[in-house]
Structure 1
Amino acid sequence: MNSDQLLNMAVEATESKRAEDIISLNMNGISDMTDYFIVCHGNNERQVQAIARSVKDAAHEAGIDVKRMEGFNEARWILIDLADVVVHIYHKDERGYYNIEKLYQDVPLETYRQAVY
């Protein structure tokens, strides 16, 4: 599976659990460690964990090794390392604080599912 296919698989997994404000950052040429970041959030701890489980399960079903998953128990910011794609799943209250999008504001950005308020 190439990095674009992995990106699409991970985005679909986040969408399946109704993650909000899903974006991807194209890290090609910026980072030697990964091709894409996915950033999204859930509205509570249970949703954040459900999104993370969905990504992990989709990766396993596709035969992709999850290199590392951090922050699952706290469910404030879960990071899932799929090598070519790194998924950042925030609790809604934390996303604005860390504001990873601003840190990489010059990186090409793709928007997927937006929050419905």
Structure 2
Amino acid sequence: METQDLLKAVVDSAEDKKAQDIVVLDIRGLSVVADYFVICHGNSETQVQAIAEAVREKAEEMGLNLKPLEGFEQARWVLIDLGDVIVHVFHREEREFYNLEKIWADAPRLAWSAER
């Protein structure tokens, strides 16, 4: 599976659940953990869980074997490890607090939309 196809599927799934401020960071060369981070947030625990569940379902449909979702029950910061792509679904308040975009400021932001 192409990483770009996976990124598109993740962004589409998050947008379907009205995820806010979706950012794709290219962390190739900056981290050995993954190639891309997808960062987004929801405005309630229920929305955070819905976004994470939609991403998980899409990844499974694409044939990926997933590890358990980290943080799903608390729904404040859910981490979804898709191999080359790691998805961070935050509650708005946690996103502001942890500010991954600032921590990874050296990573290029990809202009991304579901139409891509």
TM-score by length of 1: 0.92
- Give the 3-state SS of the residue equivalent to 1:15 in structure 2: helix
- Give the 3-state SS of the residue equivalent to 2:63 in structure 1: coil
Counterpart of 1:104 in structure 2 is 104
Cα deviation digits, residues 54-103 of structure 1 (max 9, x gap): 00000011111213410000000000000010000000111110000000
**Alpha-carbon separation, structure 2, partners of 1:20 and 1:112:** 13
The aligned runs of 1:33-112 (5 Å cut-off) are: 33-112=33-112
Q: Does structure 2 conserve the Cα–Cα contact (< 8 Å) formed by 1:68 and 1:82?
A: no
**Alpha-carbon separation, structure 2, partners of 1:65 and 1:20:** 26
| Percent identity of paired positions between Structure 1 and Structure 2 | 48
What count of residue pairs does the alignment treat as equivalent?
113
Counterpart of 1:31 in structure 2 is 31
Q: 1:29 to 1:66 in 2, by over 3 A?
A: same
Offset at 1:8?
A: 1.0
**Alpha-carbon separation, structure 2, partners of 1:112 and 1:76:** 24
Cα RMSD (Å) of the superposition?
1.2
- Give the 3-state SS of the residue equivalent to 2:73 in structure 1: coil
**Alpha-carbon separation, structure 1, partners of 2:19 and 2:111:** 12
**Alpha-carbon separation, structure 2, partners of 1:97 and 1:70:** 18
Q: Which runs of 5+ in 1 are unaligned?
A: none
**Alpha-carbon separation, structure 2, partners of 1:79 and 1:13:** 15
Counterpart of 2:12 in structure 1 is 12
Q: Which amino acid aligns with 2:60?
A: H
TM-score by length of 2: 0.92
